[in-house]
Amino acid sequence: MKIKSIFHIIQGHQITDEDIYKSIGNIPIFTSNNVIKGYWDKAIVTQQDLPCITYPTKAFSGETYIQYEMFDANNTAVLIPYPVWRERIILEWASLKLANIFLEIATSKGGVSYLNKEIVEDYELDIPLKDIQEKELEYYKRIKSIKDIAVGIKTELNKLKKLDLLIEDAPREQIKLSEMLDYTSRNDSLSEEGIYQRSQGLQGARETVRVISGSTDDFYGEIPFDNKLHIVKMKPCLQVITRGNAGQIKFVNRGNYATNTNSMLLTLKEEIKEELNIYNDSQEAEFLKFLGIYLQPIFLEHCSSADLSVFPLTEEVNSIIMPKFTFNQDVMNIVKKYDLIFTYNEKIKELLENISGLQTMQLINE
C-alpha cells in the first residue's frame, strides 16, 4: 500500500526570521532537525491531526519525529495518519520504520540529502499486525540506541579534531606561509565531462594523474599525465577545499594529483626542507600532516568571514604568519595522536554504515 494511502502528507513551508518577528504567538516552529526556530500564532496541523510524524525534506535524512502538541514546520514535512489507520498503527513503530525507509530513498545533491514528496507518496509500505509492529519496534529502538551512541562518539571525535593545537614550546621565529608552501591551482577543464574525455587515453598512458575534487571524499577520476595542467608531481600534499565545505584540509599521500574547481593543493617548497629538518619523504609527509592539523582551525576561522563560503586560498597563503616549526619528535607525537583520532573516526564511520544496513534491512517476519 502506498504511503499516501495511509498518511496525509503536508510538505511544510519556508518561514523566515522576519515572518516570525512580525508575528506574536506561542506555537513552536520546528526546523528540519526538530529544533525550535521560534514561535508564532499559526499551526500546520489541527488538534485532530495529533499525534503525527514530521521528517526533514532537506538534510538529516533518516530522521523522523513524533509531535504531540500544536506546531508549525519550517522546511519539514508532516505525515498525518488517516482516521481509519490510527487504530491499526503504532505511531512510534511507523516513525522508526519510515526513518529507515527515508534513509534508503533519499536522493543527494552536492552532499545534501533530499526527500522528494512524490517519491515518499508512492513508496509501498506494508502494515503488519500490531503484535508484529511491537516486535519490530523493539528491534528498531535497539538499533537506534546503538546508532545514537556511535553518533555521540563521532561528534566528540570531531570536536577533538577541531580544537586549536596548543604548543607550549612553539618557536619564537615566525615565517610567512608562502615562504614554506607552494600552491597548485585548480584546473577548470577537469569537469566530469573533461575527465571522461581525457580518460579515454588511460590504457596507453605511461603516467597518470588522480583528480581530486572538493565535492567528494574520494578521487574524482584518473587521467593521463599532461604537463599543460596544474599538477602536483610525485609529492605528498594538502588539499584545501575552496568552495562548499570551504577551508577544510585533507592530507594526501605521495602521488600525481590535480584538482578541479573546488580545491587547491599545497606542497612544501624544496628550498625550505633542510631548514625545517626534513630529509626524506616520510618526514615530509609527517610534517605536512602536522601543518594540516595546525592550519585547520585558522583556515576555518578565516573562511567563516569570506563571502559565500569561498576560501581565498592564494590570499591566505600570502598573509598568514605562523611559528617556524621544524620536524622533531614533538611533531611526530602530535601527528600520531591525530592519526589515532582519524582511525577511530573511520571505525565509527564503518559502524554507522553497518547500522544503516541493519536499519534498512527487511525483517523476516514482515
pLDDT at residue 303 is higher than 80: no
* pLDDT for the residue 242: 83
Same domain, yes or no: 33 and 96: yes
| Structural domain that includes position 160 | 128-170+326-366
Same domain, yes or no: 99 and 238: no
Same domain, yes or no: 284 and 153: no
Q: Which residues pair with 267 in a beta bridge?
A: 182
Asked if residues 134 and 90 have their Cβ atoms less than 8 Å apart, the reply is: yes
* pLDDT for the residue 209: 93
∠ Cα 134 138 143 (to 5°)? 145
- Find all residues with CB under 8 Å of 318, minimum gap 6, and list them: 176, 177, 178
Whole-number mean pLDDT of the chain? 87
Q: Which three cell numbers stand for residue 36?
A: 525550535
Same domain, yes or no: 156 and 182: no
User: Residue 317's closest CA among 291, 335, 284?
Assistant: 291
- Find all residues with CB under 8 Å of 249, minimum gap 6, and list them: 238, 239, 240, 241, 292, 295, 296, 299
Assign 4 a pLDDT band (cuts: 50, 70, 90): very high
Main-chain dihedrals φ then ψ at residue 306, nearest 5 degrees: -85, 155
* pLDDT for the residue 93: 95
- Of 96, 127, 158, the last residue of a domain is 127
| CATH label of the domain that carries residue 292 | 3.90.220.20
- Of 72, 106, 127, the last residue of a domain is 127
Cα(203)–Cα(222) distance, rounded to whole angstroms? 11
Same domain, yes or no: 190 and 316: yes
Same domain, yes or no: 203 and 258: yes
Identify the helix (H) or strand (E) that includes residue 263.
strand 263-268
A 10 A CB-CB count for 207 gives: 10
| Separation of first and last alpha carbons in the chain | 14
Q: Which three cell numbers stand for residue 126?
A: 506494508
| Mean pLDDT value of segment 257-285 | 93
Sign of the alpha-carbon dihedral angle for 88, 91, 93, 98: positive
User: Residue 194's closest CA among 167, 218, 213, 173?
Assistant: 213
Instruction: Give tens-digit pLDDT for 63-77.
Output: 899 999 999 999 899
Assign 247 a pLDDT band (cuts: 50, 70, 90): confident
Helix-strand-coil split of the chain, %, nearest 5: 40, 25, 35
pLDDT at residue 80 is higher than 70: yes
Same domain, yes or no: 143 and 88: no
Asked if residues 263 and 212 have their Cβ atoms less than 8 Å apart, the reply is: yes
- Find all residues with CB under 8 Å of 39, minimum gap 6, and list them: 20, 25, 26, 27, 28, 29
pLDDT at residue 186 is higher than 60: yes
- Percent of the chain past pLDDT 90, that is, above it, reads 47
Instruction: Give tens-digit pLDDT for 317-333.
Output: 888 999 999 999 989 99
Same domain, yes or no: 74 and 13: yes
* pLDDT for the residue 162: 64
Asked if residues 247 and 300 have their Cβ atoms less than 8 Å apart, the reply is: yes
Same domain, yes or no: 310 and 334: no
Same domain, yes or no: 114 and 9: yes
Assign 345 a pLDDT band (cuts: 50, 70, 90): confident
Assign 363 a pLDDT band (cuts: 50, 70, 90): low
Of 17-26, 56-65, 85-94, minimum mean pLDDT range: 56-65
Same domain, yes or no: 49 and 150: no
* pLDDT for the residue 239: 92
pLDDT at residue 160 is higher than 80: no
A 10 A CB-CB count for 58 gives: 14
Q: How many folded domains does the chain comprise?
A: 3
Same domain, yes or no: 94 and 57: yes
